[in-house]
Amino acid sequence: MSELPQALVNGVLLGAVFALAAVGLTLVFGVMDVVNFAHGEFLMLGMYAGFFAWSLCGLDPMVSFPIAGVVIGLLGLAVYRGAIARVLDGPPLNQVVATFGFMVLLRGAAQFAFSPDTRKVTGSWSENVRFEVGGVIIGGPQLLTAIGAVACTVAVSWFVDRTETGTALRAVGEDRAAAALQGLDVEKLFSLAWVIAGATTGVAGALLMNSYLASPESGVTLGLISFVVVALGGFGSIGGAAAAGLGLGVVQGVVGIYAANYTLAAAMLLFLVVVIVRPQGLVGTR
C-alpha cells in the first residue's frame, strides 16, 4: 500500500497533461462538430518542435513551449484553410477522410524528415530537481509539466467561458446559422478555433518532452488517449476533458503498480464502462 500514494500523485501529474492534450480536440468538436483524426500527429509535431528548440537553440521545454504552440497553431490554421473549410459543408464522411488523410500524411512526413529514431531532451534544468512530501517523491520535470498544463487548460477554459470572443465561439458551436444572422464572422471563428486547438496541442507536446520520447509514432498512443479523454468527459466540454484527463491519469498510475503492461487496456476498459452507463460522457449533453 506504500506505493499507492506515489501512484496517485504520478497519476494526477500525468492526467494534467492528458487534459491539456485533449483540449484542442474537444474545442474543435464543440465549435464545428468535426473530429480531428490527425490530433495525435499534432501532438507528435509539438513534441518535435520542443525537441528541436532544445537541440538547435538550447531552449528548455519549459521555455520553448510557446514556440511549439505558435508552430502547431499555424499548422492548425493551414489544415483548416487548406482542407477542412472546403469539405465542411459536405457529407461528414468527407471531413473524416480529410483529417484521416492528414494523419497519414503528417506521420509519413515525420518519418521522412526526422527518421524513425526516438529523440529525447536531456539536461533539462529541472531534471535534477525533486521534492519529497510524506514519502512521496515528486520529480521536478513532471511537476513543472503538470503546472504548465494546468495553467494552459485554465487559460483556454477562461477564454472560452469568460470573454466576448469565447462567447462567440460557443454561439457558433450551438447554431452557426443563427450566429451568422447575428453578425458573427463564422469563418474567422472557425479559423480561430483551429488556431487555439493547434496551439494548446503544441504546448502539450512540448511539455511532454520533459519526460517522453519523441518519434513519428508518438501520436498513435497519445492521440488515442486524447480521444478517450474527450469521450469520457463529453465531446465539446473543456471542463469534462480536464476532469476525465485527471481521472484517466490516476487510473493509469494505479494500474501501473500492479500491471504496468496493461495501463492502456485499463484506460480502454474505463472508457467502455463510462460510455455504456453514460454515452454522452461525464459532463457532455449530446
CATH number at 217 reads: 1.10.3470
Q: Which helix (H) or strand (E) holds 38?
A: none
Give the three-class secondary structure for 175: coil
- 1, pLDDT greater than 70: no
The angle at the Cα of 262, spanning 261 to 266, to the nearest 5 degrees, equals 160
What is the torsion angle, in degrees rounded to the nearest 10, for the CA atoms of residue 132, residue 133, residue 134 and residue 137? -40
| Domains identified in the chain, total number | 1
pLDDT digits (tens, 9 = 90+) for 63-119: 889 999 999 999 999 999 999 999 988 888 898 899 999 999 999 999 999 999 999
pLDDT for 52 equals: 94
Q: Which residues contact 88 (CB under 8 A, 6 or more apart)?
A: 32, 34, 95, 190
pLDDT digits (tens, 9 = 90+) for 20-56: 889 988 999 888 888 899 999 999 999 999 999 999 9
pLDDT digits (tens, 9 = 90+) for 223-271: 888 888 888 887 778 888 888 888 888 888 888 888 878 888 888 888 8
Tell me the percentage of the chain whose pLDDT exceeds 90.
38
Q: Quick check: is 283 in a domain?
A: no
DSSP 8-state code for residue 262 = G
Q: Quick check: is 282 in a domain?
A: no
Helix 263-277 with 218-233: angle, nearest 10 deg: 30
pLDDT digits (tens, 9 = 90+) for 110-119: 999 999 999 9
Site of grid cell 460557443: 170
Q: Quick check: is 285 in a domain?
A: no
pTM of the model: 0.90
Segments forming the whole domain that contains residue 13: 3-277
* CA contacts within 13 A on the Cβ side of 211: 16
Q: Quick check: is 166 in a domain?
A: yes
- 202, pLDDT greater than 90: yes
Q: Quick check: is 284 in a domain?
A: no
Q: Quick check: is 63 in a domain?
A: yes
- 203, pLDDT greater than 60: yes
Give the three-class secondary structure for 113: helix
Q: Quick check: is 286 in a domain?
A: no
Q: Quick check: is 145 in a domain?
A: yes
Q: Residue 284 — very low, low, confident or very high, per pLDDT cuts 50/70/90?
A: low
